[in-house]
Amino acid sequence: MTLPDLPKIPVTLEARVALLLALACPLAACGKEEAVPRPVAARGSLLPDELTVVGLFEQSAPSVAYITTETVQRGNFGGAEVSQGAGSGFVWDAGGHVVTNFHVVKGARRVFVRLDAGKPIEAEPIGGAAEYDLAVLRLKTVPKNLRPVPVGTSRDLRIGQTVYAIGNPFGLQRTLTKGLVSALDRELPTANFREVAGVIQTDAAINPGNSGGPLLDSAGRLIGVNTAIRSASGSSSGIGFAIPVDLVNRVVPSLINRGHAPLPGIGVTPISPDQVARAGISGVVLGAVGRGSPAASAGLVPYNPQTGDLGDVIVGVNGKPVQTLSTFVGELERAGIDATVELTVRRGDKERRVRVQVIDLRA
């Protein structure tokens, strides 16, 4: 069997040239030059502001700690499960003390601290203050040449000055963010109806994992401890808060020496704010007054559940109106231990002013 003769197709000169070119070079490279890396453009030195920030980070980063925790929790079927958490902290002194937030290490069975690029070091919590959301850890093995973070002051901070946060957001170690002091003298609710007064608000990005890390000024000094963000999504939205360093510098030595922090008070047991709010009462209603307390010496009378008499309701401290328990506690904290405060007290339709000494309820 033979194939039939195929018809001859005329081929133009142009088609023959195109065919020869296609056979002479690969399709991908035909008509193209081989790609090579572009030359690197030279640049000068970093700008002075950039050099300042780079130097601040290089100086401060070795003081920042990456903290991981192990916590035992009840499982769905009654068994025990081990969960892990993470946060930040910073070296306080050469003795191996590390400061972080109380909520970072609360209930932890084991705590580990990583400094620089070293291995995790086991640490033990030696003191905590839920009222200030501060805790102190002590490294079980203290490395040589620990670099404590320099301590500054928060009393002279100004809105608009530059601040830097270093921490471990989402477990990403040694992250630096930059921002401004957005506001001062904020109040941050913590535990037992208490608030931390004088809190720093900043727009430096603070995310989960930044808690317990340092907030620094442009000189690289500690001015606050990053502790919270305000965001519906749980991620930074430009509003973060830091516990002021002046408070930290008062509380931390007490945690190291005694394991707890002073607790300002006047010797009263207030009635739950929820009950007071439901009753439509503005102020602090006293459930009990301790014998021999400053409140008792000032003649304060508590609520009488048998007669329903409200007794004395605290409605002001040092001339500032007090509508809630947290505001009252914040004013006592602001005044400090051993200070004398003037209370505005309402009983029935009458108001009076009494002077009361602030004492340490834990002394």
Query: 31-89 pLDDT, tens per residue?
Result: 567 899 999 888 888 899 999 999 999 999 999 999 998 887 666 655 556 667 888 99
Nearest of 297, 305, 44, 251 to residue 127 by alpha carbon: 251
Q: Is 100 exposed, middle or buried (0-12, 13-18, 19+ CB in 10 A)?
A: buried
Is pLDDT at 28 greater than 80 in this prediction?
no
Q: From the candidates 60, 63, 103, 326, which is the catalytic residue? A: 103
CATH superfamily of 162-249: Trypsin-like serine proteases (2.40.10.10)
Domain with CATH 2.30.42.10 in the chain: 264-360
- Model confidence at 123, pLDDT cuts 50, 70, 90, reads very high
Distances (CA, A) of 99 to 17, 252, 308, 348: 79, 8, 47, 47
Q: Is 211 a catalytic residue?
A: yes
Residue 24 pLDDT exceeds 70: no
Please state the rounded mean pLDDT for residues 142-163. Answer: 93
Instruction: Based on the residue annotation, tell me whether 49 is a catalytic residue of this protein.
Output: no
Where are the domain boundaries for CATH 2.40.10.10 in the chain?
A: 60-139, 162-249
pLDDT > 60? residue 336: yes
Q: What is the pLDDT of residue 173?
A: 77
Q: What is the pLDDT of residue 188?
A: 82
The domain 60-139 is placed in CATH, from the list 2.40.10.10, 3.80.30.20, 3.20.10.10, 3.90.1300.10, at 2.40.10.10
Burial of 337 (0-12, 13-18, 19+ CB in 10 A): middle
- Catalytic site residue from 211, 254, 293, 326: 211
- Please, which pLDDT band fits residue 192 given cuts at 50, 70 and 90? low
pLDDT in tens, 270-279: 998 888 888 8
- Residue 232: per-residue pLDDT: 54
The arrangement of secondary structure in 264-360, i.e. its CATH architecture, is: Roll (2.30)
Structure confidence at residue 26 (pLDDT): 56
Catalytic pick from 133, 203, 246, 312? 133
- The question of whether 133 is a catalytic residue gets the answer yes
Quickly state the pLDDT bin for 158 (edges 50, 70, 90): very high
